A = this chain, B = another copy of it.
Amino acid sequence: MRVGVIGASGYTGGELLRILAMHEACEISCATSRKYAGERIHKVHPHLREILDMRFENLAPEDVATRSDVVFTALPHGVPMKIVPVLLEHGVKVVDLSGDFRFKSISTYEKYYQLKHEHPEIKAIYGLPELYREKIKKAEVVANPGCYPTSIILGVAPLIKERIIDVGKIIADSKSGASGGGAQPKPVLHFCMVEENILPYKVSSHRHLPEIEERLREFDERVSVSFVPHLVPVIRGIETTIHCFLIEDVEGEEIKKIYEKFYEGEPFVRVLNHREMPRMSSVRGTNYIDIGCFEVDKERERAIVVSVIDNLVKGASGQAVQNMNIMLGFKEDMGLRSIGVHP
């Protein structure tokens, strides 16, 4: 299969190339970048030296489409909505990593992204395989989920489905590594601002919040999530601590079993033991989500669940390739068999 990557110079672009380079059934047809057109890939992604011997190109979507069977768009929000229609016209399948096609409600998208959607008629499938695998199989366009939504939706869905928590008071306190902020230098991403600091940001207005609620409300429309993201001095990784209030009298071990059952057979979800905490190093560079803790505080009628992902892999490019594998009928873990780099 010929695979094109539009917007290949950022962190998610680099991860797509890294994963696709390990994919036994795909060939990278092109990697586009306006800024670095003509440069060797490894000038920007030094880890790909002697692995991908190609150059960035500045190509029109049409040209990418003619060379490709499937295309990943790793572009700033607002751009894919202009490009994806062109790709679809040419009959290629698309996995879009932006927020442009993630929302069921266009008005929610327009409110949170402050953009007018130009192609509301395009119906993408939300690419969370653990919830939408059957639909992804038949999709022409997959909207790859945000990094925080992946960590939170998968982290709390079983509790909501099982109806054992107060769905109106779910707290998701997430901590993300700085790679989630992208490769562009900004004051807030300067080493001296991130190192030795923990910084909450967009504590009530993050774009991922409506994305999370829209999907969780499929289980229970009363869901309300208090989501606070933090920037932490880590390169890769999102740790989400989910605080819930129990409405049923359950034990930690039972909660663990609820998760095991919910995720049975899932290739990239690892359910840890009761009181076992997931670690970022276990998932570093991999497509796993590790979910653990499952602690119950009887006195306060609360439960705590912790999930960990690599924001650039399960939170972005790895999940995108997982979606592609499903769309194309490949084995779901093709290209995605890396093992976490621990310690």
Contact = CB atoms under 8 A, between A and B. Distances in A.
Interface of A: 11, 14, 18, 21-22, 45-51, 169, 171, 173, 175, 177-179, 183, 185-187, 189-201, 203-204, 224-226, 228, 230, 232-237, 239, 241, 243, 245, 270, 272, 277-286, 290, 293, 295-297, 300, 302, 304, 306, 337-343
Given A199-B277, A304-B203, A339-B21, A192 B183 contact: yes
B47 A281 contact: yes
Given A342-B14, A343-B235, A189 B185 contact: yes
A144 B203 CA distance: 32
A187 B184 CA distance: 7
Contacts of A306: 200, 203
A78 B302 CA distance: 30
B179 A339 contact: no
Number of identical protomers: 4
Nearest to A343: B192
A343 B11 contact: yes
Given A185-B185, A233-B233, 20 more contacts: A18-B342, A47-B339, A49-B270, A49-B282, A50-B270, A179-B343, A185-B186, A185-B187, A192-B343, A195-B233, A196-B280, A197-B234, A197-B279, A198-B280, A200-B293, A203-B295, A228-B243, A232-B232, A284-B341, A285-B341
Contacts of A277: 199-201
Contacts of A278: 46
A50 B270 CA distance: 8
B237 A173 contact: no
A228 B304 CA distance: 9
Contact of A226 (B185, B190, B243): B243
Contacts of A203: 241, 293, 295, 297, 304, 306
Indicate the member of A191, A279, A302 with the most B CB atoms within 10 Å: A191
Nearest to A19: B339
Contacts of A228: 173, 241, 243, 304
B204 A343 contact: no
B341 A204 contact: no
Contacts of A198: 175, 232, 234, 237, 239, 280
Contact of A339 (B51, B201, B234, B272): B51
A179 B192 contact: yes
Contacts of A283: 47
A338 to B, nearest CB: 7
A10 to B, nearest CB: 11
Contacts of A296: 204
A274 B335 CA distance: 33
A201 B284 CA distance: 20
A107 to B, nearest CB: 14
A197 to B, nearest CB: 5
B226 A196 contact: no
Given A185-B186, A191-B194, A173 B241 contact: yes
Given A18-B339, A197-B281, A282-B47, A233 B191 contact: yes
Contacts of A343: 11, 14, 179, 183, 192-193, 235-236
